[in-house]
Amino acid sequence: MTDYSNVPGLLETKEALGETTVVVDRASLRAACEYARDELGFAFLADIVATDYLDWAGKGVAGYIGTATGRDLNRPMTQGLQALPDVKPARFSLSYHLLALRQGAPRLRLQCWLEENDTVDSVVPVWPAADWFEREQFDLMGIRFDGHANLVRLLMEDDWEGHPLRKDYPIGGEPVRFSPAE
């Protein structure tokens, strides 16, 4: 087992479904990444992904049938407690999926939590691969990365308004170009 107790800014270590999630403080994310790369050997940044938890668990209890730990779907007809998913600490989670190229292919999810106007340090100096990964999350989710030299839209058009993967971005609500209403 890898020891994560010395990760800078460590808030929490979670094990679920065979995956390790290390939650770190937003301010020390870059230091945590450097630590993970240099001391823990996670040389390979597989992915950066942001998730918007706006209205998470806001749909009411009726839609959720399960036990406190989640419903056991392998045992049909399990009708236990009705449980809401855990409340999240902030609106956005930002997950860095790391891989160590060594025996057993250990993976690590470094995670930090952000509110809407929070920013986080860019990790391009740690892994050059983060360049487009961060630009994509900026483009689609509106996460801003401090110190990124070229934080402009990547997949959407340069003059696009809004960040489409946010939960408050309307479905089918984009304006129609060159329409009489424009």
- Residues in touch with another protein (CB under 8 A): 16-19, 21, 37-38, 41-47, 49, 51-53, 56-57, 59, 63-66, 70-71, 73-74, 76, 83, 85-86, 95, 97, 99-105, 107, 109, 124-129, 131-133, 136, 140, 149-150, 153-157, 164-165, 169, 171
Contact partners, residue 165, CB within 8 Å, separation at least 6:
50, 52, 140, 141
CB of 128 to another protein, least distance (A): 3
Q: Which two tokens stand for residue 174?
A: 């984009």
Q: Which is nearer to another protein, 159 or 180 (CB)?
A: 159
CB of 169 to another protein, least distance (A): 8
Rounded-to-integer distance, Cα 154 and Cα 151, Å:
9
Q: Which region holds residue 140: left if phi is over 0, alpha if psi is between -120 and 50, else beta? A: alpha
CB of 117 to another protein, least distance (A): 21
CB atoms within 10 A of CB 21: 16
Q: Which is nearer to another protein, 166 or 180 (CB)?
A: 166
Rounded-to-integer distance, Cα 12 and Cα 34, Å:
18
Q: Is 143 exposed, middle or buried (CB count within 10 Å of its CB: 0-12, 13-18, 19+)?
A: buried
- Return the bridge partners of 146, or none: 121
Sheet order of strands, 44-52 included? 10-16, 19-24, 107-114, 92-99, 44-52
Q: Which is nearer to another protein, 13 or 51 (CB)?
A: 51
CB of 36 to another protein, least distance (A): 10
CB of 97 to another protein, least distance (A): 5
Q: Which is nearer to another protein, 16 or 176 (CB)?
A: 16
Q: Which is nearer to another protein, 97 or 180 (CB)?
A: 97
